[in-house]
Amino acid sequence: MKPTNWPSLKMANIFIKRDGESMKYHIKTFGCQMNVNETEIMSGILEKEGWQWTENPSESDFIIINTCSVREKAENKMYSAIGNYAKIKKRNKNLKLAVCGCSAEKEKEKILSRFNEVDFVFGTRNIVDISNLYKKSLVEKRFIDFTDKLELMSYQTTKKPFSKHHAWITIIHGCNKYCTYCIVPYTRGLEKSRNFDDLIKEAEIYAKKGFKEITLLGQNVDSYGKDFGDGKPKLDKLIENISKIEGIERIWFTTSYPTDITDELIETVAKNEKAAKFFHLPVQSGSNKILKEMNRKYTREYFLDLVKKIKEKIPDVTITTDLILGFPSETDLDFEDTLDLVKKCRFEKINVAEYSPREGTIAYKYKRDDIPKEMKNKRLQKILDTQKEINREENEKYLNKILEVVQESKVKSGEYLGRTSNNKVVIFPAEEKNLGKKVNIEIHRISAGPLYGIIV
C-alpha cells in the first residue's frame, strides 16, 4: 500500500520532493570496480531526477546495498549490512530498502524471505532502470526484478563519478569462462560487449568534463568485441581510438583473462603513449593439475610464456595477479609449482585468497573442500612472505629516480598518493590543488609496498 504522504504516481517528479525537501539516498557498495561503476550509474540517474546523496543512512529515504559474491566473506558482509539497515527501516516505515549486485543475483529468494524489511531485489543488468524500480516499489509490495536492460545503457546514461579526474567505463558485461570455483557467470550472465562507437562517445564526454584517465572494465575486459561476429577481441582497437581523444592522458584496463591477451593488445600497450604499462593477469594457480581442475583454459607454461612476451615487449611494465590457495586436492607439490611461478614471474602485486566453496559453483557441487584451514593459511603466508621480498627487490630500482606521477588522493594531512603509468604507488607531501595533475617525484625511500618521495 502506498504511504499516505506520497503524491500520486501520475504526477511529475513523484518521488523527488517531500515537504519541499530533496529526497535522500544512500548506497553501500561492496566488491570490485564494476560494482563501484554501477553505483556511479545509479547515483547519476537518481540525482538527475532530484535525489540528494547522504552519508548518513539514518536520514535516507532510499537505501541500496550493492553486493559482491566472489568470496563467502563478501556475502556475509551483505547479510550484515541488510541487518543493520533493516533496523533503520523499522524506525522509518517510509524508507525503501533495495539489494542489488552479484550476491543479490545469487541469494534473491533468501534475501526476501529472511528480511521482511527489504522492499525489492534487482540484478546487475537492470541498474539503469533504478528510477522505475523505485516507482514500482511505491505501489507493489516486495518484489524481485532481474529484467535485462543492458540495451538501455549508453553514453547518454547519467553517471556520478567518485573521482574528478579518473573515470570508469564498463565495456563488457558477464563471463563465458565457467571456472569451477567462480559464481560470476551465474550472477552476471554471459559476455555482452557494449557498442564500440557508444564507448568512444562516453570517453569523449568524460574528456570534455576534464577527466584525464579512463579505466576500461570487464570481468574479462580483454574479451571485448569477441561477440561482434568474428570472434576476435578488439580491446586494442578501443584503446587506440580512445587515445586519440584530446584531454585523455592515460588508459587502463582490468581484469584480463590470459588466453584473450592478443599480440595486438601487447603491441598497443607497448607503443601507445597513453596506454598504461600495466596488466592484471589472474593466474589462480601455478599447477597444471589445479588449473585443469579450476577449468582455467591455459597451462602453467602458456602463462609463463605470456608474461615473458609482455616483459620483452614492454620493459617497464608491471604485472599483477590473483591466486587461490588450498583449492580441493591441492598437494604440497601443486603449491610448490605456484610458489615457483610467483618467483619466475616476479609480480608487482598479488591478490591472494584461501579457497572458499561458493554454493552454486561446479567446485561446490563436485569437489570436497579437503585442504585444512591451517594448511591454507600456512601456504598463503608463505606466498605473501615471498612476494614481499620480491616487491622490495623490484622497488630498489626506483630509488633516487624521478618518476612522473598522477596525484590521486590524500592519505593523511599533507601527504598524497599517486600512481605512475606502470601503476607504482607513490606517497609524497603535496597540496590539494595538484589532484588529478601530473607531478615529478624523486624517490628517496622504498618499501615492499609504496614508494616515497618529494616533488621536484
Q: Which residue has the cell 588508459?
A: 251
What does pTM read for this prediction? 0.91
pLDDT in tens, 238-258: 999 999 999 999 999 999 999
Q: What is the mean pLDDT of residues 402-413?
A: 94
Residue-range definition of the domain harbouring residue 265: 152-396
Shared domain for 90 and 239, answered yes or no, is: no
Q: What is the reported pLDDT for 286?
A: 98
Q: What is the mean pLDDT of residues 284-306?
A: 98
Q: What is the reported pLDDT for 31?
A: 82
Please give the distance of CA 217 from its chain centroid, rounded to a whole number: 7
Residue 33 has pLDDT above 90, yes or no: no
Torsion, Cα of 300, 183, 219, 193 (10° steps): 120
Shared domain for 165 and 233, answered yes or no, is: yes
Domain boundary among 133, 148, 163: 148
Q: What is the reported pLDDT for 8?
A: 33
Would residue 181 count as lying in a domain? yes
pLDDT in tens, 326-380: 999 999 999 999 999 999 999 999 999 999 888 889 999 999 999 999 999 999 9
Residue 446 has pLDDT above 80, yes or no: yes
Per-residue H/E/C for 262-295: CHHHHHHHHHCCCECCEEECCCECCCHHHHHHCC
Torsion, Cα of 184, 187, 189, 194 (10° steps): -80
Q: What is the reported pLDDT for 170?
A: 95
Shared domain for 205 and 272, answered yes or no, is: yes
What is the grid cell recorded at 160?
556520478
Per-residue H/E/C for 337-382: HHHHHHHHHCCCEEEEEECCCCCCCHHHHHCCCCCCHHHHHHHHHH
- Let me know: does 176 contact 231? Beta carbons within 8 Å: no
The pLDDT > 70 percentage for the chain reads: 96
Q: Which residue has the cell 584473450?
A: 260
Q: What is the CATH number of the domain that holds 407?
A: 2.40.50.140
Task: Single out the residue of 293, 204, 193, 184 nearest to residue 244, CA to CA.
Answer: 204
Domain boundary among 148, 172, 189: 148
Which of 105-114, 385-394, 439-448 is the least confident region?
Answer: 105-114
pLDDT in tens, 186-237: 888 899 999 999 999 999 999 999 999 999 999 999 999 999 989 999 999 9
Strand ranges, E, within 93-178 = 96-101, 120-122, 143-145, 166-170, 172-173
